[in-house]
Amino acid sequence: MSLLFDENLSPELPVKLGDLFARSKHIYDFNYDGMPDIEIWRLAAEQDLCIVSCDQDFYRLSFNRGAPPKVLWLRVPRSDTEAIEACIRRNKRRINRFLRSKSESLLVLK
C-alpha cells in the first residue's frame, strides 16, 4: 500500500518522500483535483492507496465508514510542506505498521 496525497497538500510530496513510499501519488496524478471527497475515497480504495490529508473530511469518512481505504490524518498546517515531510519521515515506522495492519483504518499524526 502506498500513499495518496490530498489536493490541498503539495504535489511535490510523493517525489520528496519517494525514498520511503516509492509508489505514492498525488490527486493531480489522477486528474482528480476538485472531485468530491467520496470519489477520491473510491479511487483510493480501488487503487489500494492510503489517503493522506490535513482536512477533517477524510477523517470523518474514515470514522463513519472504516477501511478501505485507510486514512492518515496529519494535524500540521497543510501549507507547510517541510513540516508535513518531516512529520511523515519522523513517523515512518509507525506509518508502515499502520499500512500493514488488518484492523486499523485511521492514523492521526501531529
pLDDT tens-digit series, residues 21-62: 999 999 999 998 899 999 999 999 999 999 999 989 999 999
Sign of CA dihedral 65, 96, 13, 19: negative
Kindly list the strands in the beta sheet with 106-109, ordered across the sheet, starting from the edge strand earlier in the chain. Answer: 25-26, 2-5, 49-53, 71-74, 106-109
| DSSP-based helix, strand, coil % in the chain, nearest 5 | 45, 15, 40
Domain ranges of the chain: 2-109
So what's the pLDDT on residue 6?
Answer: 95
> pLDDT-derived band of residue 100, with 50, 70 and 90 as boundaries?
very high
Are 32 and 40 in contact by the 8 Å Cβ rule? The answer is yes
Are 104 and 62 in contact by the 8 Å Cβ rule? The answer is no
Bridge partners (DSSP) listed for residue 107: 72
Give the global pTM.
0.95
